[in-house]
Amino acid sequence: MNLTKQTIDRIDLRNKRVIIRVDFNVPLDDASQITDDSRIRAALPTINHAVDEGARVILCSHLGRPNGQTSLKYSLAPVAKRLQRLLDKPVVFAHDCIGDEVQSLVGDMKPGDVLLLENLRFHAEEEQNDEKFSEQLASLAEVYINEAFGTAHRSHASTVGITKFMKVSAAGYLMKREVEALEGVVDNPVRPFVAILGGAKVSGKIGVIENLGKRVDKVIIGGGMAFTFIKAMGHEIGRSLVEPDMLDFAKGIQEHAMSRGVKFYLPVDCVVAASMEPSAETKIVTIQEIPEGWYGMDIGPASVKLFSEAVENAKTILWNGPMGVFERDAFSRGTLSMAHAVANAYAKTVVGGGDTALAVHRAGETDSMAFISTGGGAALQLLEGKHMPGLAALPNNP
């Protein structure tokens, strides 16, 4: 699957001021230390290419949800430090993303210099796709590159608005890889093609389930969303997560898949907890024997074995969503076991971003996957076959 949009390798960047919208929305701990820098690393090929071409490289990103307020907690300053180490060259950090100080710093740049702007979302106008704010960002450069796949499903000033004021716009290398990997796996998979879908809610994955249901050979359902399917089959699920208004949809999806010869897998056992407290008693039960008042928190060992065998002969695997509340050690075994099973399959493995990418990272299987998306919501939207505003705003190949 080839991206039809204009890409960075077709653009002359020499001596140009190039503003690159990156996705440096990285996880930070309480001491503002970066706990996973894979999103920064993913943008390095595009940044290095621009530096090598002698461009003046201006990077902009959001971090977290500061809701239009300046907040030290959401500053990109720690990212500037890490980026400097990864690039092995100085990175100048601006304390805003627009205004006189930024204009002055841009004016002082020499070919090959790198400048990182402060969090775009310190300005409410970013998420409002405000025209004036878009124009102020655009005034910093002559070329715009969108490298932030993770926000391509949003109509923001730095992903959509800015393109109206730029003569030259293009997609970066990561954006190209993301779109080609995700669209390619859905539109042209080597079979058998297995989709593993997890996470909390069926409603969040309706479009993906419908879109993939027509294309896959096997569907494996885990995570909190599995209990809606289990309840739809008539089983009691205690106090496990359920979406009552999704029961008919879940039943219909399962019946439709099976009528088309698609193999549909649900957990056969689960790890349950007496309460949501970390110290609560836990036990493993079959899905027919979930005790009243207990919570389903993870798939059980028999489900792990069933699901692992289901992916053994796969040639293409798409995984989006954890198998349980994997953030807690007691309920992480199902998700981590699936990460190992997917890694060990002789298949092209594509992992949707967000929690699934974090789970693969925790399992130590990052290098075993063919492709790990950097975008959670964006990956979902692309897998649903939906419109991506950040991508649509870029010009097509001439």
Q: pLDDT tens across 9-32, in order?
A: 999 999 999 999 999 999 888 888
Q: What is the mean pLDDT of residues 378-384?
A: 85
Catalytic residue among 201, 251, 263, 362: 201
Domain boundaries, the chain: 8-175, 189-383
Beta pairing, strands 282-286 & 269-273: antiparallel
CA 275 and chain centroid, separation: 30
Is 39 a residue of the active site? Answer: yes
Best mean pLDDT range from 198-207, 252-261, 262-271, 382-391: 262-271
Distance between CA atoms of residues 314 and 336, nearest Å: 19
Beta pairing, strands 371-372 & 143-146: unpaired
Instruction: Please check the confidence at residue 209 and state whether its pLDDT lies above 70.
Output: yes
Share of the chain above pLDDT 70, in %: 99
Instruction: Please check the confidence at residue 229 and state whether its pLDDT lies above 60.
Output: yes
Beta pairing, strands 143-146 & 168-171: parallel
pLDDT tens per residue, range 332-349: 999 999 999 999 999 999
**What is the reported pLDDT for 2?**
63
| Six token digits for residue 248 | 């008919």
pLDDT tens per residue, range 161-194: 999 999 999 999 999 999 998 888 888 899 999 9
Instruction: Please check the confidence at residue 1 and state whether its pLDDT lies above 60.
Output: no
Is 377 a residue of the active site? Answer: yes
Contact criterion met (CB below 8 Å) for 395 and 166: no
Closest by CA position to 142, among listed 171, 162, 120, 115? 162
Per-position DSSP letters for 118-172, written without gaps between them: --GGGSTTTTTT-HHHHHHHHTT-SEEEE--GGGTTS--TTTTGGGGG-SEEEE-
Instruction: HSE, CB side, 13 Å, CA atoms: give it for residue 256.
Output: 14
Catalytic residue among 21, 39, 56, 218: 39
9 contact partners, CB below 8 Å, separation of at least 6: 49, 173
**What is the reported pLDDT for 47?**
98
Distance between CA atoms of residues 286 and 300, nearest Å: 8
Contact criterion met (CB below 8 Å) for 207 and 386: yes
For domain 189-383, the CATH architecture is 3-Layer(aba) Sandwich (3.40)
Catalytic residue among 161, 238, 354, 375: 354
Assign a CATH topology to domain 8-175.
Answer: Rossmann fold (3.40.50)
**What is the reported pLDDT for 110?**
97
User: Which of 211 and 104 is assigned the larger pLDDT?
Assistant: 104
Fold equal for 8-175 and 189-383: yes
